Chains A and B, each alone.
Chain A
Amino acid sequence: MTVKDSAKPARKPPSMTARADDEFRERLIAAIGTDGVKTAVEDRASYAFDAFSEGGLPAAVVLPKDARDVSAIVRIARSCGRPVVPRGAGTGLCGGSVPPDGGVVISFARMNRVLAFDARQRRARVQPGLANLELSNRVAGAGFFFGPDPSSQKTSTIGGNTATNAGGPHAFAYGSMSAHVLGLEFVDDAGEVLRVSLDDAGYDLTGSLVGSEGTLGIVTAIDVRLLRVPSAIRVCVAAFGDVEGASEAVSAIVAAGLTPTALEIIDRTIVQAVEAHFHSGFPLDAGAVLLVEIAGEPADVEAWERTIAGVSREHGALSWRSATSARERDALWASRKGAAGALGRISPNYYIQDATVPRTKLPLATRRVEEIARACGLQVGNVFHAGDGNLHPLLLFDRRIPGQLEAVAHAGHDILAACIELGGTISGEHGIGSEKRETLPLVFDERDLATMARLREVFDVTRSFNPDKIFPSGAVCGEVRAAQAAVPAGAWL
């Protein structure tokens, strides 16, 4: 966990004087208009954060209306030597959208439209600032939905989801963003507006841009694949004695070749916070709850539920209940997706880790997480995408207690190391951002990273798109900053 030390004065290249800042802002205003450029320090300061990290103070925050605006912004930033950082809703948890001092943040708040919807071809073209859930809502009437559904989906944007290759509970059945993005329009480092598509001849640049965390280009439109709403959907809740037991059941369900559309585990700590907040009917006495969604033809859903319930009981499920109405089903999902937000009730601060392991390693991984947290003197809550082996331990702490933040940083790192040891990796859906860049070398060796850097050089020679992200600082970027964390109360996962 690398978080900015607020006691240290911000470091800014010597060329970025106050006068240069003013000049930069004036040029932006001239290009896209006063209403598209935020210059006041109090406005800019709020863009120094995402949902977890704190970055620098941007020289300007811009709100383009279209790709032409984005192109102009990139050209001006380039000629002024300013880093460019794209930003969706700022719900990220690893610093992917926080700017360096003196940079320009491109907010897509005004580019939030559905540009085209083709029911026959089951695709839509959307602007990056469109909220994820809004897309599903907009196509629901025609019987479609958008597959990836990060828990932040009410606010997080399709653009941000694209940058982080977001997943969510339903990635288990439908895959992460990269399986749903069919093409992109983006602005390159020269300010050129380019289009790439899976339908085009040549290299799959679309797939390479998804998950690149804004370091290769600034995406201005996204072609997405839409899915047909299944004819029947059922959400079931099973109670288990503990997380490990629930994880065993998940491994068994997956290994048995059963195909529910979501498999989520919520432990007692989180269930209690969630129930106090949402009252959606999760069993309070369970050590862990398994949320299972099954979708398909009605008769199949019936049959699959019986089988999955059977496997769950064999693996220690204490109870099994299925939501009978759409309302009950929605309530269960709402509380699952709002879980982190409910945590404010039980802990002043929390830190959400994101890591993945091969699915059979889940029980082992959850045990390791518990041991690590205990060793660091922290309480841990678990709410995660079990079907995908995607862990989200929440380390609960109180930053006012001296030493707790350091303990969290320590535990966070150890959890990643443990997951790597189990054959996993350090991010399943949140990305590397600035928080995990120093951990990336635990997963990839120098040759791997150098090969990735070749791609970076094709798109962004000067490393001005979202600099200091993904790649470890190495010799280039100076010291790792550590110390005080800025943890907001209502973060997502």
Chain B
Amino acid sequence: MVVTLGARAPGAVHAPRDAAELATLLRACDDAGHAVVLFGGNTLQALGNVPARYDVAIDLRGLDRILVHEPRDLTIAVEGGVTLAALDAALAAHGQFVPLDAPQPALATVGGTLASGWLGPRRATYGRPRDFVIGTTVALADGTIAKAGGMTVKNVSGYDLSKLYVGSLGTLGAIVRANFKTLPLPEARRIAVATLPEGTRARAIANVSALDIEPAAALVVRGFASDIDGRDGLDGRMLVLFEGSARTIERGTRALRSALGAAGIPETRLIDREVASAFARVLDAYVARLGDRSATYRSAGVASDTGSCVEAFARAARTRGLALETIEDVRTGDTIARVSSALTAEFAERIASFEGERRERLPGARVLAAPQAVRALLDAWRDEPPALAKMRALKERFDPRGTLAPGRFVGGI
């Protein structure tokens, strides 16, 4: 695993095998004043700033046990280093899932996915990953192992600290255990794919947003052909994922076809087999890089109104000679934008110039994937939250010596 971040490489890499070993290690680093970056599958390390200090990398993939799985309770407890693929497999064997929807599930870990605050396209239907976390155990910088929540689906016993760790980018503690509530897998799934002729996009988005039978996800993709479709990929297409009973999917498909027909889109192709892997390919595209000559952003917007965001990316990219590919998430308002240049040699200069405008127009956009060489150019946090002082105080209480990824988080936390 490459543990370099920006131009920084750690002096040591450790891989503890359990929570106790991890806690001891953290404590030792904390005492020695060594800054620590926690690693899971290394799929989303581009999030946030390059840490201001970085001495030790801790690889958490050794914490890979499924701890409690009582399928009839619809709950599962796993160690933080368990991969999403392993979690999925354990649950699927009992007809269940947790809608985490993160890229590269064979590499991505549960702890890393939660810490990254990942938000996938199906959250409009099922809820955010945080809503499925019913308990956590963390190891804090000082070696304290502390739990919150539990194994019940309803719980108001003490503070819900799990919410703090989700999305904290490893700046408060290491997630050594996560307890989830699970959902039954949908009876059936289908992806409908429609090629969007020039000038039909806005109408298609509006009509699909108004469908009575709401799809689990609806994405408008431009580019990403090699990542999602292989060689035959077409530019400018809409992917609509239906999940539910076969009869409702059938009705949903009919309604979709007529909604798209009304928008001037005559044909819709249906994918009924290996839907899960087709959907996973789309998610993988969120972090897929074109060598060292691309950077990918996510920008949050308003449901069914991603147009202005795409336009802002397009303008900034066009003037810098960068190519733009986008995934617009109709139901959540997210825009994924990958900018790239033809040659690696010119990328650094172009992206630096692009960033200038991006910061102005899309201050809340986050980098999902970028070459290490340009990481330092990409200032992650241009949108400081109003409660930043409270967040600083929180960091101070949980990690007073600034051991965990100092400087990585918003406001230099």
Chain A residues with CB under 8 Å of chain B are: 120-122, 164-165, 167, 171, 175-176, 178-179, 188, 194-208, 210-213, 228, 231, 251, 254-255, 257-259, 296-297, 299-300, 303, 356-360, 385, 388-390, 423-432, 440, 443-444, 447-452, 454-459, 470
Contact = CB atoms under 8 A, between A and B. Distances in A.
Nearest to B388: A202
A459 B393 CA distance: 9
Contacts of B159: 208, 211-212, 452, 455-456, 470
A360 B247 CA distance: 31
22 contacts: A122-B303, A165-B160, A179-B127, A196-B387, A200-B385, A202-B410, A203-B394, A204-B163, A206-B163, A208-B159, A211-B159, A257-B184, A297-B244, A356-B152, A356-B153, A357-B152, A360-B70, A360-B73, A388-B152, A425-B152, A428-B156, A451-B161
Nearest first, the 8 closest Cβ-Cβ pairs linking A and B are: A207-B163, A257-B184, A428-B154, A451-B146, A255-B72, A200-B385, A356-B152, A454-B397
Contact of B168 (A203, A449, A470): A203
Contacts of A210: 160, 163
Given A175-B127, A208-B160, A299 B152 contact: no
B73 A359 contact: yes
B155 interface: yes
Given A202-B385, A202-B411, A297 B303 contact: no
Best-buried of B152, B248, B300 by chain A (most CB within 10 Å): B152
Contacts of B349: none
A205 B167 contact: no
Nearest to B71: A255
A299 B244 CA distance: 12
A447 B213 CA distance: 48
B74 A359 contact: yes
Contact of B161 (A176, A389, A455): A455
A178 B160 contact: yes
The secondary-structure label for the interface of chain B is loop
Interface string B239-254: 0000011011001000
Interface of B: 70-75, 95-96, 117, 127-128, 130-131, 140, 144-148, 150-161, 163-164, 166-168, 172, 183-185, 212-214, 244-245, 247-248, 251, 300, 302-304, 364, 381, 383-388, 390-391, 393-394, 397-398, 409-411, 413
Contacts of A188: 390
Nearest to B212: A231
Best-buried of A175, A178, A424, A455 by chain B (most CB within 10 Å): A455
A168 B242 CA distance: 29
Given A195-B387, A202-B409, A451 B163 contact: no
Contact of B390 (A197, A205, A297): A205
A407 to B, nearest CB: 25
Nearest to A195: B386
A283 to B, nearest CB: 28
